[in-house]
Amino acid sequence: MSITVLEPGPLTTVQDAGRIGYAAQGYRSCGAADRYAYRLGNALLGNPETAAVLECTLCGAALRFEKDAVFALTGANSRATLNDVPVPFYTPLYAKAGSVLRMGAVTAGLRSYLAVGGGIATPPVLGSRATDVKCQIGGLAGRRLQKGDTLPTGACDARALWQRITARQLNRPLKDKLVCVGAHPVREQGAKCLPLLRAVPGPQQDAFSDAARQAFTRSIYTLTPDCDRMACKLAGAKIEAVRGVDILSDGIAAGSVQVSANGQPIVMLADHQTTGGYAKIATVISADLPALAQLRPGQEVCFGFVTPQQGVAEARRQAELLQRVAARLR
């Protein structure tokens, strides 16, 4: 089974759960920026949770299914059509051979995901199909999709899967917003209601005074135009380091909040480098990174510290939501 790319959109890549275990050799993990939306798409179809999907930024792709397929759309909503008929997000959908899916510009959020029964089956590189554009590995030739590309998909009896879905009446959009996007808190600051990014103290927290840490958690930060899959650079209250922010380079994780030489925070995302030489004041918990991955330049966020135990509890809570969806097809 395969999918033909009719129009690729501005940035569409193959992504999965990431390339794990190769940071020591200098390879970035990459993978889906919004891990919750990615995992939800696979859960809706009964796919393995590490199956590869397509990630579309700002505007989706136009694709032709060469054989019957079951698919699901998650993440940032757009006006999607199948053979010119509008189709919803957050539900399994059936496409007959030759059907054309068109995903328009997103109406809110930033990144949309297309999961298909059996997953996208491009050749794995170092145990992952995730596209690393900088290293030119994974996905389809290590690059964003282009017009005319053909994407192989994994083994899936689409008709049998669709029969299971319809027999259990699962061919309806999820209605619970909590399940669709995960639980993401907000904070009211003055007249504003802002996304709250919860974080644990960073490995170099002692490089910052109590006043600096308070400024970090009490201020409002704006996403700058210099945001991508690698990191979100923010602008707001300056965070002063006690003896400067330069350190001997050490490991970087998704969610690491580096403070640059100008005192502004940078939050690492899926394509983050493996090491960095700026002090890290905090690490955003994994449960809140999907919310950040859906924000656009110009939008505002705030930060709050939590304990590692609270961060783990929130990750487990999201995992339980996804397990409930996946269990419907078992």
Using alpha carbons, select from 305, 248, 262, 314 the residue that is nearest to residue 286. 314
Tokens for 85, please give them.
């008929």
Least confident of 28-42, 69-83, 234-248: 234-248
pLDDT above 90: percentage of residues in the chain: 96
Domains in the chain, CATH or no CATH each: 2-179 (no CATH), 186-323 (2.40.100.10)
* pLDDT for the residue 66: 98
* Average model confidence (pLDDT) across the chain: 96
User: How many residues does this entry show for the chain?
Assistant: 330
Confidence of residue 195 (pLDDT cuts 50, 70, 90): very high
pLDDT above 70: percentage of residues in the chain: 100
Return the residue matching tokens 């380091």. 241
Per-residue pLDDT tens digits for 142-177: 999 999 999 999 999 999 999 999 999 999 999 999
Q: Calculate the alpha carbon distances from 170 to 47, 113, 238 in Å.
A: 15, 19, 49
Torsion of CA 220, 33, 35, 263, to 10 degrees: -30
Which amino acid, residue 33?
A: A
What DSSP string describes 152-195? EB----HHHHHHHHHHTT--S----HHHHH----EEEETTEEEE
Confidence of residue 191 (pLDDT cuts 50, 70, 90): confident
Q: Looking at residue 122, what DSSP letter applies?
A: P
Can you list the pairs that 311-318 forms with residues at least 24 positions away whose Cβ atoms lie under 8 Å?
Answer: 311/198, 311/200, 311/285, 311/286, 311/287, 314/183, 314/198, 314/285, 314/287, 314/288, 315/285, 315/286, 315/287, 317/183, 317/287, 318/36, 318/182, 318/183, 318/287
Confidence of residue 95 (pLDDT cuts 50, 70, 90): very high
Per-residue pLDDT tens digits for 109-121: 999 999 999 999 9
Is it the case that residue 312 has pLDDT exceeding 80? yes
The secondary structure element, H or E, covering residue 49 is none
123 contacts: CB under 8 Å, gap ≥ 6: 129
Question: Distance from CA of residue 103 to its chain's centroid?
Answer: 18
